[in-house]
Chains A and B, each alone.
Chain A
Amino acid sequence: MDYQFDFSVVTQNFGALLQGLLVTAELWVICAAGGATLGVCIALARLSPRRWLSLPSLVYVQLFRNTPVLIQLIWFYYAFPIVVGQQLTPFVAVVLGLGLNTSAYCAEIFRGGIISLTRGQWEGAKAIGMSQSMALRRVIMPQVFRRMLPALTNRVIEVGKMSSLASVLSVPELMYQGRLLSSTFYRPFEVITTLAIIYFLLIFPSGLFSRWLEVRMARGK
């Protein structure tokens, strides 16, 4: 191997990568938090006895789970504006595509968690006078969250990595900045390796945090 490593391209342009990192983090937080929140609503709709709620949410989940996320992102940028008659910025298109995709997966996680709880938990809550929504908030969801934390963590990690797909819509996130550097200076090895390390350093702690949460909450098991 007579390749001459030269990481100066990375060190000299670290500012550009940091800017990208900021956008990546932004996408990650918005899509993960928004997706999980919307996921709870969709899970509840899925479990509703009212068909006009459960049926559309079923279709929604299946659509997002059974098509490639890359197509979803591109669709939201190029096709969705035709439907609504309003051009979106690439960033908004990615937030929509990635956020809604995440919500579909989270909905399935929450739904699984809710049906894994026995009827007795609902009854215990109702027997002291709690309304349906109060029982959900105080008794059911805290337990669902505990049970489903490992699955949710997986999802959150996945979103962090999937955010790199935003580069195809020219959102200036980490992957996009890196590819720009790599093709400008033709230093793919140095730049892409650095990218991978940055992604790792960004995402790895979230797994540790989740593990810590899991242990902390396991007391009540």
Chain B
Amino acid sequence: MNKPILSVTDLHKSFGPQHVLKGISLDVQAGERIAIIGGSGSGKSTFLRCINFMEMPSQGRIALDGHSLGSVKQTRAGETRVNYAERELCQVRARVGMVFQQFNLFPHMTVLENVMEGLVTVKRAAKTEAREVALSQLTKVGLSNRLDAYPSQLSGGQQQRVAIARALAMEPEIILFDEPTSSLDPELVGEVLRSIRVLADEGRTMLLVTHELGFAYHFATKVIFLADGVFHEVGTPEEVLKEPKQQKTKEFLRRFNEFAF
């Protein structure tokens, strides 16, 4: 096995008294596509959001390219705490892209400006260069004809594709998808999933939290079933989705297939 490009060690996350993630460890190799499934409230989104520090982990370490993030500080009570400098978090987030359930496009910018924004302000690229990159990413997601539209003028599926292009423009080493199709009308889900599949064909490293089990099956190199804040079952799509071994996984899949036809 090669050195993992992302390595999560014993990750915990609590919101007040609520212990959401109870010790999660995961190594991600370059080119892996990991689908994370589980019931609502299982902590799958929280896990994803801890990886690029949208949520701050309560405990545990995250390493990118073998480099541990944050610095360990000893508190007066004798406990160890990990402190993160804002500069470091910004660098990490520029390397680990994220696509949100609610798109989170900037409504006051056009499609093109949305995709150029990170290149110009964070990467300090020249406008012409940023425009070129943005254009090629927007072409990839099939929206090169809507450059001057504002997000409010687009369908949900189109907005999400712009959000994917915006993440891609930063040339991230890893892309996180947080239920990218959950707020879309059913007929718009396909176009977004197709865009994600194109990225899979490019061999990108991706983590996807989803309820689209069919897509997870075809897309992922590895499927993780998360329940009660821990990994209950990890394996190939075949193993986890077709022949689950754990009782909880079986129940979850049964509930999902209840109304299948």
User: Using a CB–CB distance below 8 Å, which chain A residues touch chain B?
Assistant: 118, 120-121, 123-132, 134, 138-139, 142-143, 146, 217, 219-221
Contact = CB atoms under 8 A, between A and B. Distances in A.
B93 A129 contact: yes
Given A138-B121, A221-B152, A128 B93 contact: yes
A122 B5 CA distance: 27
Given A127-B54, A129-B91, A134 B108 contact: no
A131 B86 contact: yes
Contacts of A138: 117, 121
B26 interface: no
B72 interface: no
B94 A129 contact: yes
Given A127-B100, A143-B107, A217-B108, 10 more contacts: A124-B103, A128-B93, A128-B97, A128-B118, A128-B166, A129-B94, A129-B122, A132-B86, A146-B108, A219-B150
B192 interface: no
Contacts of A130: 90, 118, 121-122
Interface in B66-92: 86-87, 90-91
Given A134-B121, A220-B150, A128 B107 contact: no
Nearest to B166: A128
B112 interface: no
A129 B107 contact: no
Contacts of B121: 130, 134, 138
B167 interface: yes
A69 to B, nearest CB: 34
Given A123-B100, A138-B117, A220-B150, A129 B90 contact: yes
Contacts of B109: 220
B98 interface: yes
Nearest to B148: A219
Contacts of A121: 104, 106
Nearest to A134: B121
A68 to B, nearest CB: 38
B100 A124 contact: yes
Nearest to A219: B150
B210 interface: no
Contact of A126 (B93, B110, B170): B93
20 contacts: A118-B102, A120-B100, A120-B102, A121-B106, A123-B98, A124-B105, A124-B106, A126-B54, A127-B98, A127-B167, A128-B94, A128-B122, A129-B90, A134-B121, A134-B122, A143-B108, A146-B108, A220-B110, A220-B152, A221-B107
Nearest to A142: B108
A125 B108 CA distance: 13
B205 interface: no
Contacts of B107: 143, 220-221
Main secondary structure of the interface of A (DSSP, over half): helix
A129 B54 CA distance: 11
Contacts of A127: 52, 54, 93, 97-98, 100, 104, 167
Contacts of A129: 90-91, 93-94, 118, 122-123, 170
A27 B235 CA distance: 71
Contacts of B104: 120-121, 123-124, 127
A128 B170 contact: yes
A123 B170 contact: no
A77 to B, nearest CB: 42
Contacts of B170: 128-129
B115 to A, nearest CB: 10
A219 B110 CA distance: 10
Nearest to B113: A220
Nearest to A146: B108
A120 to B, nearest CB: 4
A125 B170 CA distance: 12
Interface in B101-157: 102-110, 117-118, 121-123, 150, 152
Nearest to B152: A221
Nearest to A145: B108
A220 B108 contact: yes
Contacts of B90: 126, 129-131
Nearest to B163: A124
- Closest 9 CB pairs between A and B? A129-B94, A124-B104, A128-B118, A220-B108, A120-B104, A129-B122, A127-B98, A129-B93, A220-B150
